Structure 1
Amino acid sequence: MTTLFISDLHLDLVRPEIIELFSKFVREEAVHADALYILGDLFEAWIGDDAEDETGRRFVEAMRPMREAQRPCFYMHGNRDFLLGERFAKEAGMTLLPDPSVIDLYGTPTLLMHGDTLCTDDVEYQAFRKLSRSPEWQRAFLSKSVEERQAFANQARQESKKHTGDTANEGIMDVNQGAVEQAMRSAKVDRLIHGHTHRPATHEIKRNGEILKRLVLADWYQHPSRLCILKP
């Protein structure tokens, strides 16, 4: 028995092969798991459930085996798709999960996060995140036409590429160690799973004689990747 974790697929029509790889992953692996957790940035961009989206339609179709097998899938918002709502989640067969969330993973309390809130040194991004998560900002954004929203998303993607491509910003876009330890301490866990940074690794943190583990998920830009936790 297994539970699967993925993140940062950044599904987009310009990379149709990744959508096909996800479909294969669902058919051959996820459909047999106890549960699938998608920890954010499922799509390259999401401008609202009301916007016609071919990538979204293909994702819903790829998830059909999960729905037919009644396998649970949990979805946590990322920084690219935080406007994905209940309407689309229900259509795809996903349950929305707050960020952060603590789950009982085969007897071990485990903290799940997208990971962007841990990058506290990126002050510019954190300010935008706080603004864009407010109900007022989201209502105003979703009241705009689909064309206006798409134009905003395109501009935001270009600015994000420039921001992440600047070597001067490389350090601030990784997690802050203090923020990690604080999050784990607040959640009272010794295991954290997150994505966002695109820096897959297993990190160990020593605290009061205990070993805390931080498991970082990989992105799907080059090939599919998943974390598989086996039931003891």
Structure 2
Amino acid sequence: MRTLFIADLHLSETSPQLTRAFFTFLEQENTDVDALYILGDLFEVWIGDDEHTPLMDEVAQKLSQYHQRFNIPIYYIHGNRDFMIGKRYAKQSCMQLLPEHYEIDLYAQRVLIMHGDTLCLADKNYQRLRKIIHNPLLQFIFNCLPLKLRKKIGWKIRTASQSKKAYKKGNVMGVTESEVQRLLNVHQCTLLIHGHTHQVGSYSVLGEGDNKCRMDVGDWFNEYSFIEATASSTQIIFRPVLPI
């Protein structure tokens, strides 16, 4: 048996090759699967469950089929792009929403999973913005705005975020090691699995010897990656994203 983790697909109508890669993943990776964890940023932008696009509906259909046909639980942790995904879409997709930091028992190993944006403390501008946009009152007000206006706001934020990201250095986009240590100690876990930084790989946690490590599941672009955990190993697997 195995458990799968993915993150940072950033699906959108402008990247049909990624959508096809995701559907191929669901078609191929459904044997002996205990659970699928999606660690945020499944979509490039999300402005509310009341928006309906062919992409959103098709993704929901594929996920619900994956769950119902193969009896595979699907768990979702919000990303920084799609933190507004709500209970309505989660139900439509047969996904169970999880809190931003969540502990699981992964084949006798205690593991902490998250999207990973809260690890990047050096990105002070983003952390300030995150506190604002995660305010429940502001989210309620945003959801009360007309859908057309929310779309404009969402894509403006996306465009600004992409422009700033191009100029950020790796030490800003990367994780803050002291925060990794702190969270692993607080949650008493030996492994952290996350996304967000797009720096795929397995890393020893500084100051913790070989006892603790973190794994960045990686983003989807020219190739995609996912983490496969079994009772005997936890590894990152890569597959090509084929052009259309």
If the TM-score is normalised by the length of the shorter chain, which range does it land in?
over 0.9
Unaligned runs of 5+ in 1: none
Q: Give the deviation of 1:31 after TM superposition.
A: 5.3
Q: Give the deviation of 1:61 after TM superposition.
A: 2.2
Partner residue, 1:141: 142
Q: Give the deviation of 1:124 after TM superposition.
A: 0.8
The one-letter code sitting in structure 1 at the alignment partner of 2:75 is F
Structure 2 residue 113 is matched with structure 1 residue 91:
no
- The answer as to whether partners of 2:217 and 2:227 remain within 8 angstroms in 1 is yes
Cα distance in 1, alignment partners of residues 71 and 135 from structure 2: 33
Q: Give the deviation of 1:209 after TM superposition.
A: 5.4
The one-letter code sitting in structure 2 at the alignment partner of 1:8 is D
Cα distance in 2, alignment partners of residues 116 and 213 from structure 1: 17
Q: Give the deviation of 1:43 after TM superposition.
A: 0.3
Partner residue, 2:103: 102
Partner residue, 1:231: 231
TM-score w.r.t. the length of structure 1 is 0.95
Cα distance in 2, alignment partners of residues 87 and 80 from structure 1: 18
Partner residue, 1:203: 203
Partner residue, 1:189: 189
Q: Give the deviation of 1:18 after TM superposition.
A: 1.2
The one-letter code sitting in structure 1 at the alignment partner of 2:62 is A
SS of residue matched to 1:71: coil
Cα distance in 2, alignment partners of residues 209 and 155 from structure 1: 43
Cα distance in 1, alignment partners of residues 4 and 104 from structure 2: 13
The one-letter code sitting in structure 1 at the alignment partner of 2:57 is R
- The answer as to whether partners of 1:22 and 1:62 remain within 8 angstroms in 2 is no
- The answer as to whether partners of 1:5 and 1:37 remain within 8 angstroms in 2 is yes
Unaligned runs of 5+ in 2: 233-244
SS of residue matched to 2:221: coil
Cα distance in 2, alignment partners of residues 30 and 183 from structure 1: 31
Cα distance in 1, alignment partners of residues 49 and 224 from structure 2: 25
Give the root-mean-square deviation of aligned CA atoms.
1.4
Deviations 1:20-64 (A, max 9, x none): 111111121135411100000000001010111222112012221
Cα distance in 1, alignment partners of residues 159 and 66 from structure 2: 35
Partner residue, 1:8: 8
Partner residue, 2:217: 217
Which aligned pairs between 1:145-164 and structure 2 lie closer than 5 A? 145-164=146-165
Cα distance in 1, alignment partners of residues 11 and 35 from structure 2: 21
Partner residue, 1:41: 41
- The answer as to whether partners of 1:103 and 1:109 remain within 8 angstroms in 2 is yes
TM-aligned CA distance change 1:177 to 1:143, over 3 Å: same
Cα distance in 1, alignment partners of residues 31 and 188 from structure 2: 31
